Structures are given as C-alpha cells and as structure tokens.
Amino acid sequence: MTFSAENLGKRFNREWIFRNFNYSFQPGVYAITGPNGSGKSTLLNVLWGQVPASTGLLNYTKDQKNIPIEDVYREIAIAAPYMDLIEELTLEEILKLHFSFKKTRKGKSLEELIELLELTHARHKSISHFSSGMKQRLKLGLAFFSDVKIIFLDEPTTNLDKPSIDWYWRNFIQLPNETMILIGSNLENEYPDNALRINLMSYK
C-alpha cells in the first residue's frame, strides 16, 4: 500500500500550518520532525483523514486501486497521546472491542495480546484507573498488534518510563518490513536512525 500528497496545505483562519506539501510514501519508516507547535500532529491528522486539508489532494493506493479517503481507516492504526480510550471499559473489554473491527497481527489471541502488552495484572481493571504510561502503552499496543498496512505514531513515548520505552522498541523492531510507519516527533530517540526525515519547517 502507498499514498501520496499533492500540494497539501492546512490553515486555520489566516495562518498556514503547512503548505505545498508534496511527498510519495512507500513502505518504510518516516519521521515527521519539527519543533513544538510546527504542525506535526496537524499534518498526521490530515494524512490519516481525520482533518480535511485546506488545499491539495491525498491519493491512497492498494493493489493498484485507489482507496477513498473515508475508507482509509480500514488499513491504518493510530497511536497518539490525545487519542481517546473508552475509560469505562476494562483492558480485556477494550481489546475485544478493538479487535472486533481489526484482525490481530499474526492471529494473536486475547491471552497473547495481554501478555505482549505486559499488563496481565490489569486485565480486569478499568482504563480510567490506568496510569498515563499504561494508557500510552495500550494505545501503542493497539497499533502494533493490528494487522494493518500503515501505522501512525504521534509522540509515541509520551508518558513512558524507561522500561516502557524499552518495551516500545522491542515491539517496534518486530513490525513487518512491508509496514509503513509515520512518526511525528521532535525527539530522535522516538524513531530509528534509518528513518526518512521530513522536516515540516520546510513547508511553511
């Protein structure tokens, strides 16, 4: 699966967040970089179809067929600090709900997913009682363990302590080579050295 952005731009009122963004994305790892407030999260939201662009076009292609932007959600997974979780649900319930819409990578069972998350002690705990780090690990796990072609990660190590950051990297490197991963970050320890860097400040 691939996608391209043609003359993409987004503005709020009279302020351009980015414009004239042209890029063709292939399977691999991309780091969307720039200082705080440069528009990394906005660009990612536009690329995955949640926020409409002010100008330009997005073209998603799978098996040489175009995919309408409203159907892209079937092929992607997202993890971001601002992404909401249903806090009334337990860990087990939220995994069952999420994976009723998406297949698990490599056909992992519910038991295997909970073990991979290293949250067996919190199986029946409501998400509202999770720490911020546990919530972030859950968000990352939902993305990592979904059988999708594209993964969007925005500031992926937010709220993670050292053991959880190690967990992030152990699971990151196990993603299939054919996966496309886009990471919004201003921290070099959040993306691998071989990531293709896209500096958003070049599109102001």
pLDDT of residue 69: 82
Asked whether the predicted pLDDT for residue 204 surpasses 90, the reply is: no
What's the chain's Rg over C-alpha atoms?
A: 17
Full domain range(s) for residue 88: 2-203
Asked whether the predicted pLDDT for residue 68 surpasses 90, the reply is: no
What is the layout of strands, in order, in the sheet containing 2-12?
Answer: 15-25, 2-12, 55-62, 65-67
Predicted TM-score (pTM) above 0.85: yes
**CATH code of the domain in which 85 resides:** 3.40.50.300
For 120-178, write each residue's pLDDT tens digit: 999 999 999 999 999 999 999 999 999 999 999 999 999 999 999 999 999 999 999 99
- Distant-in-sequence, close-in-space partners of 70: CB < 8 Å, separation ≥ 6: 49
**Domains: count for the chain:** 1
For 4-62, write each residue's pLDDT tens digit: 999 999 999 989 999 999 999 999 999 999 999 999 999 999 999 999 999 999 999 99
Q: What average pLDDT is seen over the chain? A: 96
pLDDT of residue 64: 87
